[in-house]
Structure 1
Amino acid sequence: MKIRSARPSLVVLLVSIFLGLTSCVYFNTYYNAKKYYKDAVKENIDNESGQPKTQNYNKSINSAARVIEYYPDSKYVDDALLIMGKSYYAIRSYPKAKRKCEELIANYPNSELLYEARLFLGKTYIGMRRPDQGIAILNDLWLEGGVPMEIRLEGQRALADYYYENENYRQAFLEYHKILDKMKDNSLRADVRFQVGECHFKLKEYDLAEVEYARVMDEKPSRKRQFDARHKRALSLQKLGKLDAALKIVERLLKKDIYYTWYEFANLSKAGILADLGQYTEAIELYDRILELYPKSFTSAEATYRVGIIQWKQFNDYDKAKEYLDKVQSEKRQSEFFEPAAEIANNIQYLQNLNFSLDSLQLDVDTLSSHLVWLSEYQDTVLLDSVAFDSTITLSPDTLEQVSQMPTPSPELPEHLIERYGNPNLPSQGMPPQTQTGAPDQTGVTGEREIRLAPLPPDSIQVYKRLDEDYLALTEYRFRLAEHFWQRFENVDTAKVIFLDLVEDDTSPDVQARSLMSLYYIYKQTSPDSTGPDSLLYSIHDKFPDTGYDNWVRPKIGLQPLPEPVDTLVEAYLAAEELWLSEYRYVDAVAAFQDVIANWPDSDYAPKSQYVIAWLQERKLENVDAAMASYDSLISWYPQSQYVSIARKKIAPPPPDEPDSLEVLEDSTALEAAVVVLGDAPPGTGPPVMLNEEDDLLNYIHANHLYPLVASEAGIPGEAYLTFVIDVEGRPKDFRIMRENPEGFDFGLQAIEALIGMRFKPGYRDGEWIEAPMNQVVEFSP
């Protein structure tokens, strides 16, 4: 009896043990999923990299998935679904997060986790850039009865964060305030109060921001939040002009070892405050120290930019300013200061080029003037110059004999001329020097660069002709210099002095008129209530009647405008361009450009039109034979055009075949440039991107001779801003030139050629590649 009664007991015991072990296994699997998720959240609290740390989130997803797969009837399945949804949300895999939240809501309508699943579904919709659906869910959670308070608060916090990230700071401020007094967790309340301060700071309400940052310390902020609040309070005081108080807070932060991790930000702010206090030398020393301690960082990039600005604005040292601004890219190209630094550096380079051109012209004027002295003093007037000789004398034996008997110039020249220009009678010295090193001019921005002058004319007539050209060029370049100081550097005083001087210079009436117009705008900006600018309008009207300048002035002084002349050449070219760029009627565009050439064959628009015809035939109409013929015509008809170098490259014969004895590898360059091997599109949404680096683009421009010839030879940098479409296979199309700077060199057309040779990854949405627009600035630097 004892033996028989023992068997059922043993079976029951074994079954109990098995069920207990099974229960322990799936609980442990769920426990691991929950633990990995908590660890992931903890390690991402102070993560400022911009990308989540994903290892523990992925472990959490895998453990939760095992619970669902192996124990589908357990009570932890809804928990596992929520953990997966929250983890996918955290690593920004929004479509998967959405799917898991919806599975929980659909399959477990009575789950205690239902509200939290709806919360993360709303946050996921916002992450997927479907804010209307997300905001509706979060607002329902706030208004609906029975929703736990922590869910309601987290939903409103997510809503407030969404408004803040989308720069709707007023709405974000209201949402943060809605939950601030309802939060019991002091640490979370400290975070929200800090965000309230951030809203005020973004709205430039620095007095209110300073108060909110100070109140953060009344809560229980984390160490990082303590530093952030005190640091931003100092920046608010700096904006309010309370520099001593701001400096005290920053220096106090730098004395506390617990904030050592964030010293770089405090040092950066301290340097900025020192600069605002006028202690520029101390500020630069601290910025340079930051460069040593934190190289290749966003902090060092900003420090480099700030030093460049100080060197420019405070010390007027353009060379030093450009040196620092050029370094921003090497410090951290992704920095927000990269583009403004590059723009200012380009403006300084342009200023240096202008000054160099002015130096070159002035040197040419001085050299030509001295050459005139030499011609008048040491070349006998009986010796006819080359122009007069060729045009007026028919040589006869008697005439030749007379010429041979004429006295030659004395080899003895005044010492000051020999010292400066050399002795033309000595081959070793030759005529006045053709090169000279230019010294810095009054602006202090032109470093030593070799100036190369054109050969001196052989006679006075050509000397006077070149002097007239130089004087016209000098006035034009001086106008550009003044315009650059005014518009790019906001140096109105220097610009006014130059414009006023040009108004008195009669060399170029066009420059006179433009200078008066510029002075009018300057006075309107600086003295809007003054009647002084009106007198400039009447000066333009009186000095330049019945011109385009007069027509501009007339409505401002109560006169009827002049009848507008029609420039049929420009109209015809623009109409052809419209057919090409806006209507995409390439055949009609070719015909229209051909009409431009036929009607105005000697205009500047003719070679440009011929180049566009060839480009359209090659790129859009895919008629290679016609394109080659058009390139050949361009070379024949317009041999001096800047487009000829490109055309010659297009029609050049292919390189000779390699000998059979050598192994010839297939050239896949063109294929690689045009085709990108695409796998599955990632989840979420993303724009198209160029896979090449900016340096690759610039190298491609130079390697393929795409730098406009005139600009390249003059050392003129440029840029073109383009908008175009990247198709689903990563190919660019439908280009539009939005802006060229400077205009007139065809940087836009060459930029299109360069971008066609680049590699792109298309945009994507919800796991699929899509056709999407893209913008790109293409820079040209010598």
Structure 2
Amino acid sequence: MNRYFVSISAWTIVFASILFLSGCAYFNTMYNAQKKFEEAEREVEAPPQQTEPGRPLPQGTVQPRPVPIEKYRKVIETSAKLLENYPKSRWVDDALLLMGISYYRINDLARAERKFSELTTLFPNSPHITTALIWKARVLSEQKRSEEAIELLREGTGKMKSGTRKADALFLLGNLYYDLKKWGDAAEQFHLSLQQKQRGEQRYTALYRYGLSLYNSGKHAEARDALSASAKASNSIAQAYDAYVYWSRCELALQNPAQAEAILLRVRSSERFLDYTDDIELELANLALETGRVNDAMTLYQNYIAEHETGEGRGLAFYRLASIQRYHQVNLTLAKSLLDSVIRCGASREIADSARMAIDQISKGLLALEN
């Protein structure tokens, strides 16, 4: 019997057959736990709900379905009954895994970690070892123990057989390094995960993050190859958009400004990215500034401000205009005024903090000139 957690529906068929043939009580207990677990997982793993039919979720946001807490509690209760009443059943490791995942889903991380540790310690030959290691690493990450999660996965992946589970582990390891901004290590793990048999959309995300990790490592030629492939393949509109933008930035870093602009113009003309029209206008303005077309950049930023009364993009446009006045036009008074507008118009915290710092520096400079 294949006891790996690859096909939950396959599990259901197998358990149903065993239950019919044997009538054993512990099989019945495990079958009920598995069925309830399958129902809960289907709800959690369903595609995110959208605020408007046909409209993609805004970039960088997630709107998952509610966790069916009561169903997971039922899984825990039923699995615990099997452990208590049938401690020598061949399904004990399966029950521990179901309990660990269920505890994770309801955010009881301490108990989740304990169940995964029990499984890996008591059943070193269980077919669920790889799955348990991956879930335990997720628990450690949620507990802000990323270094422990990394150590666990680095040790574990070396012993894993090739396949989708190893791909999952390497992908998670890449994400842990990515979140820590350890770009070289992240790129290495994403690259290794791409060499395994990987699940559909996860493969595109691994390719995308591999490209971003290379970009942040300064390896722009390699990043360009990964990001261009990601941009063309990804089913996620937000991810594809970002991949195109960073592909353009790679071309600029490689001294190909015409190609960089062509990529952005292609995105602007695509119906697929209509929800990112405002973002692409700012990217084109940034490109103009980076390539020395200061007057063109000023016009684009001013047009953006005129067309948008609120929003983080407006704050960024003011900030860029202030930079032009400060470094290109050397008009410190106007630069300071524009930076004041950055703070007032609802810019992101990062941009607003940068504006305050710049105002302080300019104020000191103006004071020095007066004296």
Fold-level similarity (TM above 0.5): yes
Please, which of 151, 159, 170 is the counterpart of residue 144 of structure 1? 159
State how far apart, in whole Å, the 2-side matches of 1:170 and 1:305 are.
31
> What CA deviation, in whole Å up to 9, does each residue of 1:668-693 have, x standing for no partner?
xxxxxxxxxxxxxxxxxxxxxxxxxx
Q: Give, as a single letter, the amino acid of the residue that structure 2 aligns with 1:143.
A: G
Please, which of 106, 123, 126 is the counterpart of residue 138 of structure 2? 123
State how far apart, in whole Å, the 2-side matches of 1:263 and 1:85 are.
42
Matches within 5 A, 1:289-438: 289-291=303-305, 296-332=310-346, 334-355=348-369, 358=370
Instruction: Say yes or no: does 1:269 pair with 2:283.
Output: yes
Instruction: Say yes or no: does 1:62 pair with 2:77.
Output: no
Please, which of 156, 159, 177 is the counterpart of residue 170 of structure 2? 156
1:159 is paired with a residue of what secondary structure?
A: helix
> What CA deviation, in whole Å up to 9, does each residue of 1:32-83 have, x standing for no partner?
31222112x6459977557x646523x2x33111233367446785564244
Q: Give, as a single letter, the amino acid of the residue that structure 2 aligns with 1:196.
A: Y
Contact 1:213 1:232 in 2 (8 A): yes
Residue 27 of structure 1: how far off its partner (Å)? 6.6
State how far apart, in whole Å, the 1-side matches of 2:172 and 2:252 are.
31
Alignment partner, residue 99 of structure 2? 81
Assess, with a 3 A threshold, how the Cα gap between structure 1 residues 343 and 211 changes in structure 2: closer, same or farther: same
Instruction: Say yes or no: does 1:167 pair with 2:181.
Output: yes
State how far apart, in whole Å, the 2-side matches of 1:95 and 1:159 are.
21
Instruction: Say yes or no: does 1:36 pair with 2:49.
Output: no
Alignment partner, residue 648 of structure 1? none
Matches within 5 A, 1:206-221: 206-217=220-231, 219=233, 221=235
> What CA deviation, in whole Å up to 9, does each residue of 1:683-720 have, x standing for no partner?
xxxxxxxxxxxxxxxxxxxxxxxxxxxxxxxxxxxxxx
Query: Taking structure 2 as the reference length, what is the TM-score of the superposition?
Result: 0.74
Assess, with a 3 A threshold, how the Cα gap between structure 1 residues 237 and 148 changes in structure 2: closer, same or farther: closer
Assess, with a 3 A threshold, how the Cα gap between structure 1 residues 119 and 85 changes in structure 2: closer, same or farther: farther
Q: Give, as a single letter, the amino acid of the residue that structure 2 aligns with 1:120.
A: W
Contact 1:122 1:135 in 2 (8 A): yes
Contact 1:104 1:114 in 2 (8 A): yes
Residue 155 of structure 1: how far off its partner (Å)? 1.2
Query: Taking structure 1 as the reference length, what is the TM-score of the superposition?
Result: 0.38
Residue 192 of structure 1: how far off its partner (Å)? 2.1
Unaligned runs of 5+ in 1: 1-15, 359-476, 478-782
Of 288-297 and 248-257, deviating more is 288-297
Assess, with a 3 A threshold, how the Cα gap between structure 1 residues 37 and 332 changes in structure 2: closer, same or farther: same
Assess, with a 3 A threshold, how the Cα gap between structure 1 residues 141 and 164 changes in structure 2: closer, same or farther: same
Residue 341 of structure 1: how far off its partner (Å)? 1.7
Alignment partner, residue 134 of structure 1? 149
Larger Rg: 1
Contact 2:336 2:359 in 1 (8 A): yes
Higher strand share: 1
State how far apart, in whole Å, the 1-side matches of 2:99 and 2:110 are.
14
1:336 is paired with a residue of what secondary structure?
A: helix
Alignment partner, residue 262 of structure 2? 248
State how far apart, in whole Å, the 2-side matches of 1:271 and 1:277 are.
10
> What CA deviation, in whole Å up to 9, does each residue of 1:369-392 have, x standing for no partner?
xxxxxxxxxxxxxxxxxxxxxxxx
Alignment partner, residue 199 of structure 1? 213
Q: Give, as a single letter, the amino acid of the residue that structure 2 aligns with 1:142.
A: T
Higher helix share: 2
Contact 2:59 2:238 in 1 (8 A): no
Residue 215 of structure 1: how far off its partner (Å)? 2.9
Answer 1 or 2: higher relative contact order, Cα 8 Å, separation at least 6. Answer: 2
Contact 2:251 2:260 in 1 (8 A): yes
Residue 24 of structure 1: how far off its partner (Å)? 9.8
Unaligned runs of 5+ in 2: 1-22, 51-55, 83-90
Percent identity, aligned pairs only, is 16
State how far apart, in whole Å, the 1-side matches of 2:32 and 2:180 are.
45
Contact 1:210 1:236 in 2 (8 A): yes
Residue 260 of structure 1: how far off its partner (Å)? 1.8
Matches within 5 A, 1:282-681: 282-291=296-305, 296-332=310-346, 334-355=348-369, 358=370, 477=371
